[in-house]
Amino acid sequence: MATTRVRGLPHFAVGTVVKGFGRGSKELGIPTANFPEHVVEELPDEITTGIYYGWAKVDDGPTFKMVMSIGWNPYYNNKKKSMETHIMHVFKEDFYGSELKVVMLGYIRPEKNFKSLEELITAIHNDISESDKQLLQAQHLHYKQHPFFTEKSGAQCNGVISNGVVTNVHGKENGLANGNIEQNS
């Protein structure tokens, strides 16, 4: 499976983990961390609905691979757009209320409907596998150490974090020096 290049990536986001629909762990066996509505609403237009991969960090913990669904989850007919992050790590307990930082680096596929729960679960496992493979590439691997993950929220990170959301970072290819963070206020 090849990923598609998307304008607006990499995209950095930070927010407090909120309760989602409660399906990830219970129904799918694939837990997700959900961003609050204001983070979803701040997504730039270039970030369309679909499945993305990148890196994620909870509070001051290590940085892990992640796969994220952005959209309305057609299988469940959601009424609100969501950003659901599956962190590729087994956590011992829930971390609602914790700070979640993510950098979205690539796009896997558009969101779509599925005929069965089993088909949905298979697609998610394929997305996880593709994310794992993509994040081993050098152009993505270095983002695991990006200063964004070590800065405290609201602090300087190659620019300004506004309203809890770094909306976009464009800079040198390594994403570290002279980044320009576009501010939403």
Task: Give residue limits of the domains in the chain.
Answer: 11-164
- What is the CA 37 to chain-centroid distance, rounded? 14
Peptide bond before residue 36 is cis, with ω within 30 degrees of 0: no
Q: Cite the beta strand spans of 29-131 per DSSP E.
A: 33-34, 50-58, 63-71, 82-87, 99-109
| Structure confidence by residue, pLDDT tens digits, 93-124 | 889 999 999 999 999 999 988 888 899 889 99
The residues that are catalytic are 84
Strands 63-71, 11-16: pairing is unpaired
pLDDT at 174 over 50: no
pLDDT at 153 over 70: no
What is the residue type of 31? P
CA distance 87 to 14: 14
pTM over 0.85: no
pLDDT band per the 50, 70, 90 thresholds, residue 141? very high
CA distance 185 to 177: 24
84 Ramachandran zone, left/alpha/beta (phi>0; psi -120 to 50): beta
The second-level CATH assignment, the architecture, of 11-164 is Beta Barrel (2.40)
| Structure confidence by residue, pLDDT tens digits, 22-80 | 655 556 788 899 999 999 999 998 999 999 999 999 999 999 999 999 998 766 666 78
